[in-house]
Structures are given as structure tokens and as C-alpha cells.
Amino acid sequence: MRLFLAIDFPDELKVRIARNIEILKGYIPKGIKWVDRKNLHVTFKFLGDVNERILEDLNAPIEGITGKYSPFTISFKDAEIVPNPERPRLIWYDMKDDTESASKLFKGVDLALYDMGFSKEKRPLALHTTLGRVKFARKIEWEKISSNLIPLEEIVQCKELTLFMSRLTPSGPIYSILKTFPLKKTDKDGGNI
């Protein structure tokens, strides 16, 4: 089973992000594998191929970490081409977390999964949501194109991590939610419950 942990988006936000994908498609009609609206998310940690027998064993370590961290927010920065418009590989929205809460949670989850035998991440968390993958290299006039996108000023409330299974098919991946791991509950005044 191919698994990853992610921050999922509410459907209304997926619709707004997908509008910008449609704008991009108008300017770059070929050579990009665009992400389906229902699959938009922020990848938190890719677990890779996991034996189904250890799936239940994942729950306690992840719950143990997520239960220690309070909900936080992330917001959208600019859409960008990675690594650059001359050698594009990905088109994504860079995201920011002003409180570093996501990075702290990421380090905790990474350590807990490392203790279970998963590979430790070599790089720090880079919050982003992928819009498309470039299938063949070519220069893209990104400044002209990106100026036509609708700004995303939404603040994303991160109250849980979602464990997804990804099944690869010729027409693209199919994601299934296996479990959600809530972050620590707080009362309406911000205190812990």
C-alpha cells in the first residue's frame, strides 16, 4: 500500500484552487499532468510502500504525536514553478506557517515513524500544494501566466493529519482516506482541553 500523510483541504477551497488550474491550462495546454481537484492537498510526509500488516501499528505512534500539538493555520504564498521556469518540473502553491507549528509537528511525526523503521527525512518540511507535474522540459513564460491567477488569500485551519492511500492508475492516482489523526483539542479561548 502506497501511503502518505497530508493536510487535506475543504471542498470549497479545492474548487477555488481548481479555478486557477483551469486558468493555467488555458496558457499551458500540453505537457503538464494537472492534479485533479479532489486530490489537492498539502503532502506532510510520504511513507512509501507499506505492508498492510503494519497499518494498525501506525495508529498509536501518529496519534501519540498529533495529540500533543495544537491546531494551527497555514496560508498561500505565490504559485511558482519548481525549480525554475527554464527547467520546470512542478507547478505548485508555496505555503507558509508563521508559527513554525507545522515544522514542529513534522519533526515529531518523522521521529515517531523513524522509530518504527521508516526513513528519516533528509530535508525540512516544505509546505506546498502541487498543481501540476511537467512531463517534458521546456521554458514557460511564468511571469506573464502567473499574473492572471486569482489570488488565494484563504487561511487553512489545520486540525488533523490525514493518512491517504494512493493507488496509481494509467489515468492518474486515486486517493483514499484511511484515517484522520486529530490535533490536540483546545477550548474556544485557545486553552487546552
Instruction: Give the CA distances from residue 181 to residues 44, 62, 86, 96, 109, in Å, rounded to whole numbers and listed in that order.
Output: 13, 7, 40, 21, 11
- Which residues have CB under 8 Å from 18's CB, separation 6+? 37, 40
Question: Active-site residues: which are they?
Answer: 41, 128
Residue 176 near residue 155, CB atoms below 8 Å:
no
Query: CA 175 from chain center: how many Å?
Result: 13
